[in-house]
Amino acid sequence: MDTEADYVYSEDCPSRTVLDVLANKWSLYILGLLRRHGRPLRFTELRRRIEGVTQKSLTQALRNLERDGLVSRTIYPTIPPRVEYALTELGVEAGTLTAAIADWSRTNATRIHTARSAYDNRLTQSM
């Protein structure tokens, strides 16, 4: 690699595994939702609010976020057990980044959809 900053692109860079978790679309939605609500949410609340996520995908994303210290999981000894997920201090920091991505996406969605249509039209016309 050319510079220290380029190391992030190397397979040996430890940050790649962190980026893999953060780049997961469900992780982005989970972090954003927990940040937006500012309180712990139950699994069913998360699943209901994140349209399109499967139980399996949500479970895996939450496990990865918990493993990386971005989300805490609290189990309450009730019948049935109540489980809540909340952002950790590290998760709040990551949530700031995901909120910036969400804001940018909302601001530029129309421009991106326009670019996609133009690209698709060019592709169709060249066939």
The enclosing domain of 106 has a CATH number of 1.10.10.10
Residue-level pLDDT at 1: 46
- Phi and psi at residue 55, to the nearest 5°: -60, -40
What is the rounded average pLDDT of the residues 71-89?
A: 95
Find the domain containing 74 and state its range.
4-125
What is the rounded average pLDDT of the residues 99-110?
A: 91
Residue 91 vs residues 12, 48, 85, 122, 127: alpha-carbon distances, Å: 24, 21, 11, 42, 47
Residue 10 vs residues 4, 20, 45, 113: alpha-carbon distances, Å: 10, 13, 38, 32
Q: What is the pTM of this model?
A: 0.82
Answer yes or no: are the C-beta atoms of 74 and 83 closer than 8 Å: yes
Q: Residue 22 corresponds to which tokens in the numbers above?
A: 């953060």
